[in-house]
Amino acid sequence: MTGPAPTVSVIMPAYNGAAWIGATIDSVLAQDFADWELVIVDDCSTDNTRDVLATLTDPRITVIHAAENGGPVVARNTGFAAARGRYIAGLDQDDLCKPGRFAAQVAYLDANPGIVLVATAAELLEDGRVTPWPGDHALTPAVIDWLLLTQNPLVWSTVMFRAEAARLLDPFERPQVRYAEDFDLYHRLSRFGQIARLDEAQLLYRCHPGGASKKFAEMMAASAARVLAERYLPVFGDGEAQANAELVVRYFMARDPVPDLPTLGCLSRILGALHADHVARTPLTPQERIEVDGEHARLWWLVARPALRQGAVTMRQAMGVLPDSVHLPANDPDRLISPLIGRVRAIGRGLGVAI
């Protein structure tokens, strides 16, 4: 593509997505904000994706045909290398942008130079039905920074970030953390600024059985644990960082039920140590500290509650391993997590997992 560099470069890997990619491209063409380019990398599709892409005539769209199938990380790295925009937008081949997405994110990044990446909320698209993301709640930069220590609070197809920061990374996305490459990228970009989210939904996230998140769940968990282990080294050291990261991924990210009191005690110790380290090294306003402490309490109760309901631990036992930094409402701890329960179950439906 020639001519002046656009404001936004959209990177989209494509592989056997003929059934959905046309609608996804149409959602980009329908954007209120028109100064964009779309870089599509066809990763050697074996269906008729190539035929669909051959019909595109908008000069803002560039199609790159990979010489060999390298997977989504290699495809995104290829697309990023070709991108010319000031801002980079992520988008998978099966998700749909709402018309105001790019305009809202460009305006936010222009107005907030300290923000390196801004995501948006999303809605679910399942069997042709659009439903709210159940229990979704406001996420401030301070809360996102804290949540990244135990989970991935963002949807890749909603993110937009500064190209100048991403170009400081080598490589852009790391192949060794495949299927958690977005989670890894957020951690690596956070060195250059805060991460924010717009709470108005600007994306329809398509849920279907063929999604990579279900098919490669074990590889995703291993990669996510690797990302967290790197973050945990200063807190836990070489001896515990990897093992603690694996526990966090299993019980906080994958939401496996806590089987017994020793496991709950171990998770409580990990969460308490992460919180103590985080608030010690992160400048927080009084309001931000309230927000972080609230999410800290929610996370603990979210893993303790199922163990209590299943009889794996008693309330007295759970309170005995409660981190000192967690403050639960005396009469109704479920008030902490009622939004999160809905959110987790919604994600589970999208992955084909009962939660």
Per domain, the residue ranges of the chain are 8-208, 217-351
Give the type of residue at 295.
E
Contact between residue 196 and residue 141 where contact means Cβ atoms under 8 Å apart: yes
Instruction: Reply yes or no on whether the pLDDT at 75 is more than 70.
Output: yes
d(CA 23, CA 236): 46
Q: Minimum mean pLDDT among 49-58, 187-196, 328-337: which range?
A: 328-337
pTM assigned to the model: 0.91
Rounded Cα gap, residues 102 and 139, in angstroms = 19
Are the beta carbons of 49 and 17 closer than 8 angstroms? Answer: yes
Q: Rounded to an integer, what distance in angstroms lies between the CA atom of residue 155 and that of residue 146?
A: 16
Closest by CA to 350, choosing from 212, 156, 197, 199, is: 212
pLDDT recorded at residue 133: 84
Please report which confidence band the pLDDT of residue 137 belongs to, taking 50, 70 and 90 as the band edges: confident
pLDDT surpasses 60 at 294: yes
Looking at per-residue pLDDT, the higher value among 291 and 339 belongs to 291
Instruction: Quote the pLDDT of residue 348.
Output: 41
195 in Cβ contact with 144 (< 8 Å): yes
Per-residue pLDDT of 257-282, as tens digits, reads 999 999 999 999 999 999 999 999 99
% pLDDT > 70, the chain: 90
Nearest to 74 by CA among 175, 167, 166, 156: 175
Q: Does the pLDDT of residue 109 top 90, yes or no?
A: yes
Q: What whole-number distance in Å separates Cα of residue 199 and Cα of residue 286? A: 22
- pLDDT > 70? residue 283: yes
Look up residue 230 and give its amino acid. Answer: E
* Mean pLDDT for all residues in the chain: 92
Confidence of residue 335 (pLDDT cuts 50, 70, 90): low
pLDDT of residue 338: 54
Give me the pLDDT at residue 337, please: 53
Q: What is the pLDDT of residues 152-211, one digit of tens each?
A: 999 999 999 999 999 999 999 999 999 999 999 999 999 999 999 999 999 999 987 655
Token pair, residue 167, equals: 């170009």
Which tokens sit at 314?
């008693």
The whole-number pLDDT of residue 329 equals: 77
CA–CA dist 320, 339 (Å, integer): 26
**Are 157 and 90 a contacting pair, CB within 8 Å?**
yes
Burial of 35 (0-12, 13-18, 19+ CB in 10 A): middle
- Other beta carbons within 10 Å of 330: 6
Q: Which CATH class is domain 8-208?
A: alpha beta
Q: What is the pLDDT of residue 134?
A: 72
**Is residue 341's pLDDT more than 60?**
no
Kindly indicate the confidence band of residue 349, based on its pLDDT and cuts at 50, 70 and 90: very low
Residue 269 and residue 354: Cα distance in Å, rounded?
Answer: 28
Supply φ then ψ for residue 113, to 5 degrees.
Answer: -65, -20
Provide the pLDDT confidence category of residue 97 given band limits of 50, 70 and 90.
very high
> DSSP E strands: which ranges in the chain?
8-14, 36-42, 61-65, 87-90, 96-97, 115-126, 129-132, 160-162, 194-207
**What pLDDT is stored for residue 346 in this prediction?**
41
